Amino acid sequence: MSSPCSLCSAECCKTYVVTITSFDVFRICRETKRKHQDFAVLHEPRLLGFDPDLILNTTDGYERYLLGFKSHPCIFLGKDNLCKVHDSAPLSCRYYPYRLGRKMNARFCPLLPQLLFRIKGPDIREDSLLKEFKAYKKIVAEWNRNPGKREDCISFLLRKTEELHENL
């Protein structure tokens, strides 16, 4: 079955600010040979809903951030409205339009892709997503116990992620 996303105009990638984890950055860097500076930045948390355990504190600037993609719409959205890095894309993107508990949040999906997603299911298993989020939250908590400058944060996250990656 081809991806339901091939029948859509990618409104989710154009409308949402894509928040990511350091594991997503690590995976994209490894698979695409790109540097994290090309696509990952810290954003002020101006979303309506987010997990407070993902907030990164710093000692300078705004002081509270979420890790996310540099550009909006998504930097990896191709002209054909398909993800150019789908196999290494953030787990939350590969789990979309599902939320935890396999509940659908497909308000941007046209009807046909919604129906196909209901038949096909998410591209990854929920336990993979939860395992990675749990590990990322531990890294964020470690950073927040002794926060540093904003410019040092992503390097810290990636260093810790690489240390943990072998165990996931």
Spatial separation of the C-alpha atoms in residues 129 and 3, rounded to whole Å: 20
Backbone dihedral angles phi then psi of residue 43, each to the nearest 5 degrees: -110, 145
For residue 109, the model assigns a pLDDT of 84
CB 2 within 8 A of CB 117: no
SS3 content of the chain, % helix, strand, coil (to 5): 50, 10, 40
The pLDDT averaged over each successive group of 10 residues in the chain (168 residues) is 78 84 95 93 76 90 86 89 89 84 79 85 85 94 95 95 79
Spatial separation of the C-alpha atoms in residues 141 and 82, rounded to whole Å: 34
The pTM of this model reads 0.88
